[in-house]
Homo-oligomer: A and B are copies of this chain.
Amino acid sequence: MIKVGLYGYGNIAKGVECAVKQNKDMEVTCVFTRRNPETVQTISGAKVYKTDDVLNHKDDVDVLVMCGGSATDLPEQTPAMAEHFNVVDSFDTHKRIPEHFANVDAAAKKSGKIGIISVGWDPGMFSLNRLYGSCILPDGADYTFWGKGVSQGHSDAIRRIEGVVDARQYTIPVEEALEAVRSGSEPQLTTRQKHTRECFVVAEEGADLERIKNEIVTMKNYFDEYDTTVNFISQEELDRDHKGIPHGGFVIRTGKTGKDLENNHVIEYSLKLDSNPEFTSSVIVAFVRAAYRLNKEGQSGCKTVFDIPPAYLSIKSGEELRKEML
Per assembly, the copies of the chain total: 2
Contacting pair B131 A125 (CB below 8 A): no
B interface footprint on A86-101 (CB within 8 Å = 1, 0 otherwise): 0000000010011001
The answer to whether the Cβ of A222 comes within 8 Å of any Cβ in the partner chain is: no
**Distance in Å from the Cβ of A79 to the closest Cβ of chain B?**
16
Q: Which of B270, B315, B322 contacts A268 (CB 8 A)?
A: B270
Contacting pair B314 A131 (CB below 8 A): yes
Contacts of A319 in B (CB 8 A): 98
Contacting pair A271 B265 (CB below 8 A): yes
Contacting pair A263 B274 (CB below 8 A): yes
Contacting pair A306 B306 (CB below 8 A): no
Q: Which chain A residues (123-149) contact chain B, with CB distance < 8 Å? A: 123, 125, 127-132, 134-139
Contacting pair B311 A307 (CB below 8 A): yes
**Distance in Å from the Cβ of A154 to the closest Cβ of chain B?**
22
Contacts of A138 in B (CB 8 A): 22-23, 315
The answer to whether the Cβ of A318 comes within 8 Å of any Cβ in the partner chain is: yes
Q: Which chain A residues (280-301) contact chain B, with CB distance < 8 Å? A: 281-283, 286, 289
Measured CA separation A265–B56 after assembly (Å): 38
Q: Which chain A residues (259-286) contact chain B, with CB distance < 8 Å? A: 259, 262-275, 278-279, 281-283, 286
The answer to whether the Cβ of A309 comes within 8 Å of any Cβ in the partner chain is: yes
Binding site for B on A (CB under 8 A): 15, 18-19, 22-23, 43, 94, 97-98, 101, 118, 123, 125, 127-132, 134-139, 182, 257-259, 262-275, 278-279, 281-283, 286, 289, 304-311, 313-315, 318-319, 321-323, 325-326
